């Protein structure tokens, strides 16, 4: 099985990864050893408290164990490999956590050791652990009779699409498959011989060559995620410089973002969003089926675990009843019969444990086989979506390449002139509409002035004087208000029609 390990700190971040139910369909806590707590969260809290007395920040040793996806691997095989990792790296009897994950029809394990030596309060050193893990991995493949990966036979034959954690997280943020991204970059490298041809080949695959801030060569996705070009190509920077020259001649990241925003995003964003919507529509029934299968499998395991626990209690009680008590029990101790019965009971208990493990493993294998059938359909839909997006990038790159003809500047000038003419016509139309509304209002005011009940609006000065007089209740105000024509006794109570730009019943 493939073994990947690292020394790390931040125990609680690791705990969140181990108990992440969003990305993992089933999580099984197999072992918590060497801690006072009996669950993962409390055990990691306990480790953090102890780690405060150690100068090192990387106090954990984390290993992931991934068997071949098409093989049925029991718990005993995982335990054997974990014990060998522990022995060869000097971690015997150290506090340990073992958890099983099931994700996309693949069952794998995580083992985490504390590196802190409780007697000396220092971290246990295990140099060259990657080479040791590679040896254990090769030996496990040979013992189990699995097909040995080419990379374990000769490191030069490793899969060029292999990726590290950083690339996986970047591709996940961008919604891409890291293997497909590396394959696309390596294909572009294989068919190019200079910076110009590599840039065109990358653009046809949805990547854009740029000069990074901290590295001379980078590749940017159309969504703005910056990837290291040497890591994508599995090549040293020196090899890339020999073909592309110095990175100063490349576009900077800001210029590349501007280029993508002006030339790529307006044409590509809508198409990719439509492709993603179609993918989501096709994956929606499959995802509902996956969730229903997940719930059904969890319920089956729960019922099985309850049945196994009940049978274990019953068998323990039966074995306890076979032991004689009283004078007969004393005689058994003297004759050695009690020791033989205890050994026989321990052997039967061990056989019962192995039987229960095998029964549970058969259920897990059957569920994984069922889940793989669904996963094949999901992978096919994802592959179709990736092919559709790759086709969009390829078509757009061809269109932009065709647009790099000598008459491109003339077409750009003609397009700008057309846009300016359209904007000028729009402004003229808006001015004409404004003049038309003003003329209509003046015509309406003229009609109202000819009406018998039209009252000339008071000048602002007169209106302020009226307000002052009204506030003081002076005789001048009463006299002026009585003399106004609209205050006559026989005046009609109805109101004149409102103006178009005023509310009903509001006089000017």
Residue burial 305-316, b: 16+ Cβ < 10 Å; e: rest:
eeebeeeeeeee
For tokens 């793989």, what's the residue? 372
pLDDT in tens, 457-467: 555 555 566 65
Q: Please tell me whether residue 355 adopts helix, strand or coil conformation.
A: helix
Same domain for 303 and 385: yes
What distances in angstroms separate CA 438 from CA 178, 354, 431, 494, one per listed residue? 64, 95, 11, 28
Is position 495 within any domain?
Answer: no
**The two three-digit tokens of residue 264, written as one number:** 């790529």
Instruction: Tell me the CB-side half-sphere exposure of residue 256, using CA atoms within 13 A.
Output: 25
Note the helical H segments in 403-493: 408-449, 460-472, 475-483
The Cα–Cα gap between 150 and 140 comes to 15
Q: Are 46 and 145 within one domain?
A: yes
The tokens describing 292, both together, are 């229903």
Contact of 136 with 81, CB cutoff 8 Å: yes
Which pLDDT score is estimated for 409?
Answer: 57
Q: Which two tokens stand for residue 24?
A: 């993992």
- Domain housing 214: 165-251
**Does 19 map to a domain?**
yes
Q: Does 441 fall in a domain?
A: no
Place of tokens 């990837």: 227
Q: Does any domain span residue 355?
A: yes
Tally of domains in the chain: 3
pLDDT in 10s for each residue of the chain, 508 residues:
889 989 988 888 889 989 988 888 999 999 999 999 889 999 999 999 999 888 888 999 999 999 988 888 889 999 999 999 999 998 998 999 999 999 988 999 999 999 998 888 899 988 889 899 999 999 999 888 888 877 776 666 565 556 666 776 777 776 777 777 888 888 888 888 888 888 888 888 888 888 877 778 888 887 778 888 888 888 888 888 888 887 777 888 888 888 877 777 777 777 778 888 888 888 899 999 999 999 999 999 999 999 999 998 998 888 888 777 888 777 877 888 888 888 888 888 899 989 999 999 999 999 999 999 999 999 888 888 888 887 777 777 766 665 554 555 565 566 677 777 777 887 888 888 778 877 777 777 777 766 545 455 555 555 566 656 655 545 554 555 555 544 444 444 444 444 444 444 433 3
> The domain spanning residue 72 has which CATH number?
3.30.930
Domain boundary among 123, 157, 191: 157
- Specify whether 225 is located in the same domain as 274: no
Q: Among 197, 217, 251, identify where a domain stops.
A: 251
Strand, helix or coil for residue 33? strand
220 belongs to a structural domain: yes
Residue with tokens 């990966």: 149
Let me know whether 334 and 200 are in one domain. Answer: no
Residues 18, 95, single domain; the answer is yes
- Is there a contact between 101 and 24 (Cβ–Cβ < 8 Å)? yes
Is 284 within a domain? yes
Task: State the pLDDT at residue 80.
Answer: 93
Contact 29, 99 (CB under 8 A): yes
Last residue of a domain, one of 402, 426, 454: 402
Q: Same structural domain for residues 137 and 64?
A: yes
What radius of gyration do the chain's Cα atoms show? Answer: 40
171 and 204 belong to one structural domain: yes
d(CA 122, CA 117): 5
Write b or e for each residue in 481-492: b if 16 or more Cβ atoms lie within 10 A of its Cβ, otherwise e. eeeeeeeeeeee
- Considering the domain architecture, whether residues 397 and 300 belong to the same structural domain is answered as yes
Q: Does 118 lie in the same domain as 28?
A: yes
Best CA proximity match to 133, nearest among 58, 81, 77: 81
Q: Are 84 and 1 a contacting pair, CB within 8 Å?
A: no
Pairwise CA distance, residues 151 & 160, whole Å: 10
pLDDT, position 364: 92
Extract long-range pairs of 501-507: CB within 8 Å, 24+ residues apart. Answer: 501/441, 507/455
489 in any annotated domain: no
User: Is residue 42 assigned to a domain?
Assistant: yes
Shared domain for 320 and 188, answered yes or no, is: no
Do 140 and 188 fall within a single domain? no
Best CA proximity match to 240, nearest among 163, 188, 165:
188
- The alpha-helical segments, DSSP class H, found in 208-335 are 229-233, 237-244, 253-259, 265-321, 326-335
This prediction's pTM: 0.66
Q: Are residues 181 and 303 in the same domain?
A: no
One-letter-per-residue 3-state SS of 320-342: HHCCCCHHHHHHHHHHCHHHHHH
């Amino acid at each position: 099985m493939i073994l990947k390990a690292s020394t790390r700190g931040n125990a609680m971040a690791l705990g969140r990864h181990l108990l992440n139910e969003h990305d993992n369909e089933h999580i099984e806590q197999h072992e918590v050893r060497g801690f006072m707590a009996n669950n993962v969260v409390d055990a990691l809290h306990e480790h953090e408290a102890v780690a405060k007395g150690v100068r090192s920040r990387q106090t954990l040793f984390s290993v992931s164990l991934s068997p071949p996806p098409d093989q049925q691997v029991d718990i005993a095989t995982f335990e054997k490999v974990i014990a060998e990792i522990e022995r060869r790296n000097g971690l015997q009897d150290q506090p340990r956590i073992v958890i099983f994950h099931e994700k996309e029809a693949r069952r794998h394990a995580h083992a985490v050791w504390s590196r802190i030596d409780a007697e000396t309060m220092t971290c246990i050193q295990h140099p060259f652990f990657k080479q040791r893990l590679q040896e254990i991995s090769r030996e496990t493949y040979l013992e189990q009779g699995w097909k040995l990966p080419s990379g374990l036979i000769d490191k030069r034959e490793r899969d060029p699409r292999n990726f590290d954690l950083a690339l996986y997280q970047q591709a996940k943020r961008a919604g891409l498959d890291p293997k497909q991204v590396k394959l696309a970059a390596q294909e572009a490298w294989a068919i190019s011989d200079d910076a110009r041809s590599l840039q065109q080949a990358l653009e046809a695959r949805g990547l854009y060559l740029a000069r990074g801030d901290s590295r001379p060569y980078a590749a940017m996705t159309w969504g703005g995620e910056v990837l290291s070009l040497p890591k994508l190509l599995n090549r040293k920077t020196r090899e890339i410089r020999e073909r592309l020259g110095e990175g100063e001649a490349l576009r900077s990241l800001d210029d590349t973002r501007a280029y993508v925003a002006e030339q790529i995003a307006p044409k590509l964003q809508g198409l990719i969003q439509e492709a993603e919507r179609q993918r989501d529509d096709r994956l929606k029934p499959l995802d509902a089926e996956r969730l229903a299968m997940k719930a059904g499998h969890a319920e089956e395991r729960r019922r099985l675990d309850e049945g196994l626990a009940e049978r274990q209690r019953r068998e323990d009680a039966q074995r306890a009843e076979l032991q004689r008590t009283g004078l007969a029990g004393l005689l058994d101790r003297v004759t050695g019969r009690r020791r033989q019965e205890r050994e026989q009971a321990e052997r039967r208990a061990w056989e019962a444990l192995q039987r229960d493990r095998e029964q549970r493993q058969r259920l897990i294998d059957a569920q994984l086989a069922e889940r793989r059938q669904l996963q094949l359909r999901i992978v096919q839909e994802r592959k179709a979506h990736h092919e559709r997006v790759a086709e969009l990038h390829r078509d757009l790159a061809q269109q932009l390449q065709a647009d790099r003809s000598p008459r491109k500047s003339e077409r750009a000038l003609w397009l700008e002139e057309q846009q300016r003419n359209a904007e000028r016509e729009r402004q003229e139309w808006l001015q004409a509409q404004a003049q038309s509304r003003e003329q209509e209002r003046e015509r309406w005011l003229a009609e109202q002035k000819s009406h018998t009940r039209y009252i000339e609006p008071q000048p602002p000065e007169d209106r302020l004087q009226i307000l002052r007089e009204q506030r003081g209740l002076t005789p001048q105000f009463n006299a002026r208000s009585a003399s106004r024509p609209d205050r006559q006794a026989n005046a009609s109570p109805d109101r004149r029609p409102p103006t178009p730009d005023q509310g009903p019943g509001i006089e000017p």
